[in-house]
Amino acid sequence: MPPLLSSFPALCDGFSEIFQAVAAQKGGKVADYIPQLGRVDPERYGLGLCTVDNQRFSLGDSNVDFCLQSGCKPINYALALEEHGEAKVHQYVGREPSGRSFNELTLGPDDRPHNPMINAGAILICSLIRPELDPADRFDHVMERWQALQGGHRPGFSNATYLSERQTADRNYALGYYMQERRVFPKNTALIPTLEFYFQCCSIESNCERLSVVAATLASGGLCPATGERLLSPRTVRDTLSLMSSCGMYDFSGEFAFTVGLPAKSGVSGMVLVVVPDLFGLCIWSPRVDRSGNSVRGVEFCKAMVSRYNFHLLDSRLGGSGKEDPRGLAFP
């Protein structure tokens, strides 16, 4: 198969220029609600890119590990969809942006969490993933799926992050008990193991190079570019990308959809996973986050990328946006 992005070297040069320009951004601050995040060097900055035909590019601290935090949410959602299908998953969780902060103690009008990308919904999704397994096997299942999504590379796990998350999780416990009281969980859900499973998923560690392969698997409709293996169904990927588009960037999701127009998910560790469907996946990491919890450089990189390249999903490929497009025109 010829490379999908025939001008890949030129794209890499363009991304290097943007990466360097965005490095000047020093706004935001490192999340410090747990010491394991507070101690991270604020100057860390990395990027990994993987195309749907497995071309790779990386910059900066691209192979330095960090914890996923909310970056685990879209993959857990995808795993729940694979296991139960869309109809059953959405009996329990909505698909509407909440317009509130990610850990707000609130449910939608029908007593379901608003969506799987905020904490209430992500905790609910954890209750749907292989609930019949004991906790160790359940976590192994998730790690195995991440390993496959990373093209065979097993992610790490920070026990220190997990212990800190668990110790400072009053809000997540409150959300869990509130949902239990409202009978939101499936019958027989064990609340504490479900919450612990959620904290463990947040404490999975990886880096930009590896995570770009996960994002590229989403970009290619569920086929891992590194192995050619089908890991997710096209429908699961579509649903996951839909919710990343509308809810993936905390309470900046509407702004991000407007200005960048790409499915993305951020985590308070400073990672942003970005998917350009049918083209490539990207992971940017820079730990200083803004008030919403989004990496300042991550968001700036995405904005700069979309003002130079024709990648906003609603950029016309016919209408002559005047922007660069490594695909060329669809119908020249």
Q: Which residues would be at the binding site for ligand GLU (CB under 6 A)? A: 69-70, 102-103, 119, 165, 172, 202, 267-268, 293
Please state the separation of Cα 244 from the chain's center in Å: 7
Written in H, E and C, the secondary structure of 188-215 is CCCHHHHHHHHHHHHCEEECHHHHHHHH
User: In the bound complex, what is the minimum distance in angstroms from residue 245's beta carbon to ligand GLU?
Assistant: 18
- How many residues can be counted in the chain? 332
Provide the Cα torsion 208, 264, 34, 95; round to 10°.
-150
User: In the bound complex, what is the minimum distance in angstroms from residue 170's beta carbon to ligand GLU?
Assistant: 10
**What's the rounded Cα separation, in Å, for the pair 19 and 200?**
31
**What's the rounded Cα separation, in Å, for the pair 147 and 141?**
10
Indicate the residue among 70 and 206 with the shorter CB distance to ligand GLU: 70
Indicate the residue among 55 and 240 with the shorter CB distance to ligand GLU: 240
Indicate the residue among 165 and 209 with the shorter CB distance to ligand GLU: 165
% helix, strand, coil for the chain, step of 5: 45, 15, 40
Indicate the residue among 56 and 265 with the shorter CB distance to ligand GLU: 265
Helix H or strand E encompassing 81: helix 73-84
Question: Measured at the alpha carbon of residue 55, what is the angle toward residues 117 and 44, in degrees to the nearest 5?
Answer: 55
User: In the bound complex, what is the minimum distance in angstroms from residue 156's beta carbon to ligand GLU?
Assistant: 16
Indicate the residue among 53 and 205 with the shorter CB distance to ligand GLU: 205
The answer to whether 148 and 76 are in contact (CB under 8 A) is: no
Indicate the residue among 119 and 220 with the shorter CB distance to ligand GLU: 119
User: In the bound complex, what is the minimum distance in angstroms from residue 215's beta carbon to ligand GLU?
Assistant: 17
The answer to whether 298 and 270 are in contact (CB under 8 A) is: yes
User: In the bound complex, what is the minimum distance in angstroms from residue 301's beta carbon to ligand GLU?
Assistant: 18
User: In the bound complex, what is the minimum distance in angstroms from residue 19's beta carbon to ligand GLU?
Assistant: 23
